[in-house]
Amino acid sequence: MSNKRGLLVVITAPSGSGKTSIYKRLLQIRDDMKFSVSYTTRKQRKGEINGIDYFFILRDEFEEKIKKGDFLEWAEVHGELYGTEKSQV
């Protein structure tokens, strides 16, 4: 295990505000940055790739992960669940 400390940057904003554009540009210009793929219960949209854009899982699976304490954070937005698994950070 490395003792090197990193910097956690959280980009959060309403849908359609440009979060994806910002993080994609940051990844292009900084080779030391990584993207944390979130989990969600919402339906996969055209062009999205499971494991790249999100981990798309069923609500029952998400709720089980909540019970097991797998998430660093999670929230329900417009009836769908979104969360960051601890192992992603």
Question: What pLDDT digit, counting tens, does each position of 37-79 carry?
Answer: 999 999 999 999 999 999 999 999 999 999 999 999 999 999 9
pTM: 0.80
Pairing of the two strands 39-40 and 55-56 = parallel
Q: Quick check: 16 pLDDT over 70? A: yes
Q: Average model confidence (pLDDT) for the chain?
A: 92
% of the chain surpassing 70 pLDDT: 98
Q: Can you read off the two tokens belonging to residue 19?
A: 């979060």
Q: Quick check: 1 pLDDT over 80? A: no
Q: Quick check: 32 pLDDT over 90? A: no
Residues 24 and 11: their CA atoms lie apart, in Å, by: 12
Residues 2 and 11: their CA atoms lie apart, in Å, by: 25
CA nearest 53: which of 29, 82, 76, 73? 82
Q: 68, 87 in Cβ contact below 8 A? A: no
Domain map (residue ranges) of the chain: 34-88
Residues 11 and 13: their CA atoms lie apart, in Å, by: 7
Fold of 34-88: Guanylate Kinase phosphate binding domain (3.30.63)
% of the chain surpassing 90 pLDDT: 65
